[in-house]
Structure 1
Amino acid sequence: MKSGEWITDFFARTLGIANRMRSNGGTMEEVKVVEKILRSFTPKFDYVVCSIEESKNVAEMRIDELQSSLLVHEQRLNCTTASEEQAALKASTFSKSSNSRGGRGGRGG
């Protein structure tokens, strides 16, 4: 997986490769594709991969089930990141407005 790549793009690219291998006579079992996908994530998804491996039987997991699970995690991660960015922006805006009010009159006013 490339840094900053979306789950859907990563799956499309990975499944395209697996399908080309199958069309050229290779055998690519679904469990092998699932395992390769789980090994290919960026460190940002390490906790998600560990969670999936601990809670589910990877040998019986289907690709679409894995993709759905990862999409949910990606959406939560993006919501959390967006909330943190909004909070930082609010804090920055508040800090600037506080400084501009407090700095005009000097000491005591």
Structure 2
Amino acid sequence: MSDEKTLTKIPHFDGHYDHWSELMENLLKAKGLWSMIERGFVDPLDNTLLNDHQRELLEESRVKDHQVKHYMFQAIDRIVFEQIMDRSTSKIVWDALKKKYGGNAKVKRSLCNTLRREFEVLDMKKGRLLMSTSQEY
């Protein structure tokens, strides 16, 4: 079976950006698409005159950018997808995910606090549920 026929397992983004980004970077490098994240893709102005070779290169770049976006959109859930305002290029999507979920301690602390609050709310709901069921008996 050829490489193009095998199914690619796309790493699912579960909120742990550092782990996901390493896996995704490896996938994109293996597919020859990492340059779309490193250099990005810029569509030329509408009035730009291109020769045939330049048009072919432009179309190749567009297809590669769409492939990378496809992989990333498959990796994220609907809620994360909706938080990315500008989805025009794969680099913009990558940078948005990196800014929101990656790297710095302030972001990680904020995510931790959010998860802690969600847990506390769930715990309170569970406590109310237990109280209401015990009162029924």
Calculate the TM-score normalised by the size of structure 2. 0.43
Kindly state the Cα deviation for residue 84 of structure 1 after the two structures are TM-superposed.
Answer: 3.6
Query: How many residues are treated as equivalent by the alignment?
Result: 89
Q: Does 1:68 align with 2:99?
A: yes
Q: Which has the higher helix share?
A: 1
Q: 2:22 pairs with 12, 24, 42, which one?
A: 12
Q: Does 1:41 align with 2:75?
A: yes
The amino acid across from 1:38 in the alignment is M
Cα distance in structure 2, aligned partners of 1:96 and 1:27? 55
Kindly state the Cα deviation for residue 35 of structure 1 after the two structures are TM-superposed.
Answer: 1.4
Q: 1:17 to 1:66 in 2, by over 3 A?
A: same
8 A contact 2:86–2:92 mirrored in 1: yes
Cα distance in structure 2, aligned partners of 1:18 and 1:41? 13
Q: 1:34 to 1:7 in 2, by over 3 A?
A: farther
After superposition, give the CA deviation of every residue in 1:14-51 in whole Å (9 maximum; x if it has no partner): 11222344xxxx35311537614531135xx2133133
Cα distance in structure 1, aligned partners of 2:14 and 2:80? 16
Q: 1:56 pairs with 52, 66, 86, which one?
A: 86
Calculate the TM-score normalised by the size of structure 1. 0.50
Could you say which residue in structure 2 is the equivalent of 1:91? 128
- Computing the radius of gyration from Cα coordinates, the structure with the larger value is 1
Q: CA RMSD, aligned part only? A: 3.7
Kindly state the Cα deviation for residue 68 of structure 1 after the two structures are TM-superposed.
Answer: 2.7
Question: Which runs of 5 or more residues in structure 2 are unaligned?
Answer: 1-10, 41-64
Kindly state the Cα deviation for residue 95 of structure 1 after the two structures are TM-superposed.
Answer: 2.6
Q: 1:16 to 1:6 in 2, by over 3 A?
A: same
Kindly state the Cα deviation for residue 80 of structure 1 after the two structures are TM-superposed.
Answer: 5.8
The alignment-based identity, stated in percent, is 10
Q: 1:37 to 1:69 in 2, by over 3 A?
A: farther
